[in-house]
Amino acid sequence: MGTSIVTGAAGFIGSHLVEALLEQGERVIGIDHFNDYYDPALKRKNIMAAEAHPDFQLIEASMELLNWSVLLEDVDVVYHQAAQAGVRASWGEGFRLYTERNVNATQILLEAAKEAPNLKRIVFASSSSVYGDAETLPTREDLCPRPVSPYGITKLAAEHLCRLYAHNFGVPVVSLRYFTVYGPRQRSDMAFHLFMKAILENRPIRIYGDGQQTRDYTFVKDAIAANLAAASSPDVAGEVFNIGGGSRVALMDVIDTLEQITGIPIQREHIEQARGDARHTAADTSKAARMLEYKPQVTLAEGLAQEWQWIQALYR
């Protein structure tokens, strides 16, 4: 088997991807900066099992400071998951981190990839945030993207760079637009993690706005399957794909499902709507189904139950 690099290897999606690749017999180089956007101790837990594996190497560094031309010499695939995450934190002074970590770091990787002798694919983790308040639901990849957050702007800029390097230099990059990924190891700033922790601690959960906003929720294992398919499918370099979970659900309905799963009455506290949050998201995944044979396998109820098991183990 070959060698893969996973950037953001200790993160939510990255750590699952590392484990899936090791299970397939790959040699994996994980890169993570362990920044403090959320508790680095959670990331250490995420990557602990992989660190014991003989075919795994962890590099703790910022992407901008690495010698990518040397790193990429014998690498087949790069899964570029590293990013400065979070829609709400991307306003104000923090925006500089988003341009550095989402745009500049991606450009550095793409520049080095031009000369990488054995590189077969880069899979770039993009986001449904590029669409903003999409005019059409479910949303197809060819709809004009109109981000409503600074975070979404940086992910779209990185996507455009991927397209330019594919078109001008033949860099074999594929972009995946994730729609609200959830499951075990979900970041501690994300809604389901916050909700479940509040339920565990008998606190009210905080709901932005009226709770009628809808999302296309994607279980993490389905996102991993999409990455593996994007790395190996023929004739997809330069393409962009929506990766969704297959059902659009209102937030209040999610909370009702959580009540059923946990068996605990949930207290709700409504607060004002957050700036930069899209009102509705829904993925048209027909292109991914056609070209990547992507088909989400995990229902929202199944996925929430798995995340609830993990949350209980994490905090009890």
Cis peptide before 138 (omega within 30 of 0): yes
Under the banding of pLDDT at 50, 70 and 90, the label for residue 140 is very high
Cα–Cα–Cα angle for 128, 133, 138, rounded to 5 degrees: 65
Q: What is d(CA 166, CA 78) in angstroms, rounded to the nearest whole number?
A: 14
Q: What is d(CA 100, CA 70) in angstroms, rounded to the nearest whole number?
A: 22
Active site residue 151: yes
Full-model pTM = 0.97
| % of the chain exceeding 70 in pLDDT | 100
Residue 289 has what pLDDT? 98
Under the banding of pLDDT at 50, 70 and 90, the label for residue 7 is very high
> Is 273 a residue whose pLDDT tops 90?
no
105: nearest Cα among 124, 120, 91: 124
Q: What is d(CA 237, CA 263) in angstroms, rounded to the nearest whole number?
A: 46
Per residue in 105-122, pLDDT (tens digit) is 999 999 999 999 999 999
> Stretch 46-65: mean pLDDT, rounded?
97
* Residues near 116 by beta carbon (within 8 Å), at least 6 away in sequence: 69, 72, 73, 75
Catalytic site residue from 37, 98, 131, 151: 151
- Please give the domain boundaries of the chain with CATH numbers for all domains: 3-250+256-315 (3.40.50.720)
Helix axes 105-113, 150-169, angle to 10 degrees: 10
Q: What is d(CA 83, CA 105) in angstroms, rounded to the nearest whole number?
A: 9
